[in-house]
Structure 1
Amino acid sequence: MSSDFYTNSILPYAPIIIKICRAYTNCQEDYEDYYQEVCLQVWKSRNNFKGNAQWSTWIYRISLNVCLTLLKKGKKKEEFPTDNILAAEVEKNNFFTEDSLNLLYAAIKQLSEVDRAVILLYLEEKSYKEIAEITGTSANNIGVRITRIKSRLKKLLDGKIN
């Protein structure tokens, strides 16, 4: 992968990739593997980008597809140590440093795979249409799904369900 491609086409979207990889992994090793695999797949499929959607939408789709594929292969560990994760990104973007953010990710990890994707996109302030396009569902049910997800997250965060 050329450094120019990484610098210009992947690095600006690293926060997207980081958030999605974090939501689907439980330890630093898996997180780093998922992140690297997403970057590799973006590079490998760069010539398939037709411009029908925004580049960020395409990055989301690849990130979700890679994470879901790796998750199905059973590639997961028990803990998620946050002290050594891609130090440059952590310092630069202030990821994983607040307890409330860690609690939110812990709650998000208890959602189904599709619900995780939907809520991450919602938190990125994507429109229902964009969320539907990225996840491959209809825009009509995204609003209902988000309401249900938010309710479940609130219950999880309030400690009412495990």
Structure 2
Amino acid sequence: MRGREQQRAFETLLREHQRIVFKVVSVYARHPEDRRDLTQEICVQLWRSFPRFDEKRARFSTWMYRVALNVAISQMRRPSRQDERFERLDQQQIDAAGGTVGIFEPDERLEVLYRFIDELDPLNRALILLYLEDRSYAEIAEILGISETSVATKISRIKQKLRYQMTGAMPVGA
């Protein structure tokens, strides 16, 4: 493919799978300007990488997730404007404010889930995003370049940690 044909193919695939970009951006960026910046950077990297996309090796959605997550994780590692705007609370401050233990309304539970996801390291954020997307362990492993066993183990640990945060119940083996 060359020139206009390649551009049309890319635009069509991007439009068909744009939800992937929006999902990755929503997990890795909280502020509107950060979301816009991350969306733009992901799209630029997708376009730059498109000539190397090989449909024989991976589905477009799998490849797109891989590129989008790599860009998002790279952006997270850079000092962000968010770090300049907010100071992270330590556990004592969270406990003084009531922590996360107790019964939550549905919206509050969702907010606790988002805060929990925000605290995960970049790889675990990607894992939980793909898990919540109902991706198979095989597909998650392919996207992230880790084994299915690793995927299963890490997801189990994330779920256990989340359960503890939501209910206050001590995780097994802790």
Relative to 1, partners in 2 of residues 1:76 and 1:61: Cα closer, same or farther, differing over 3 Å? farther
* 1:64 alignment partner, one of 66, 69, 73: 69
**Paired amino acid for 1:18:** F
* Alpha-carbon distance in structure 2 between the residues aligned to 1:15 and 1:160: 35
Counterpart contact for 1:128–1:142, Cα < 8 Å: yes
Matched residue, 1:53 = 58
Is 1:42 matched with 2:51? no
Q: 1:7 offset after TM fit, Å? A: 4.4
* Alpha-carbon distance in structure 2 between the residues aligned to 1:64 and 1:114: 9
Q: 1:14 offset after TM fit, Å? A: 1.9
Q: TM-score, normalised by structure 1?
A: 0.76
Q: 1:113 offset after TM fit, Å? A: 1.1
Matched residue, 1:23 = 27
Q: TM-score, normalised by structure 2?
A: 0.72
* Alpha-carbon distance in structure 1 between the residues aligned to 2:75 and 2:124: 17
Q: After alignment, is 136-145 or 103-112 more displaced? A: 103-112
Matched residue, 1:14 = 18
* Amino-acid identity (%): 36
* Alpha-carbon distance in structure 2 between the residues aligned to 1:14 and 1:154: 31
Q: After alignment, is 70-79 or 59-68 more displaced? A: 70-79
Counterpart contact for 1:132–1:138, Cα < 8 Å: yes
Is the radius of gyration larger for structure 1 or structure 2?
Answer: 2
Q: After alignment, is 70-79 or 116-125 more displaced? A: 70-79
Matched residue, 1:146 = 155
Relative to 1, partners in 2 of residues 1:76 and 1:150: Cα closer, same or farther, differing over 3 Å? farther
Counterpart contact for 1:108–1:153, Cα < 8 Å: no
* Alpha-carbon distance in structure 2 between the residues aligned to 1:11 and 1:156: 37
* 1:125 alignment partner, one of 123, 134, 156: 134
Counterpart contact for 1:25–1:76, Cα < 8 Å: no
Q: 1:149 offset after TM fit, Å? A: 0.8
Relative to 1, partners in 2 of residues 1:158 and 1:31: Cα closer, same or farther, differing over 3 Å? farther
Matched residue, 2:125 = 116
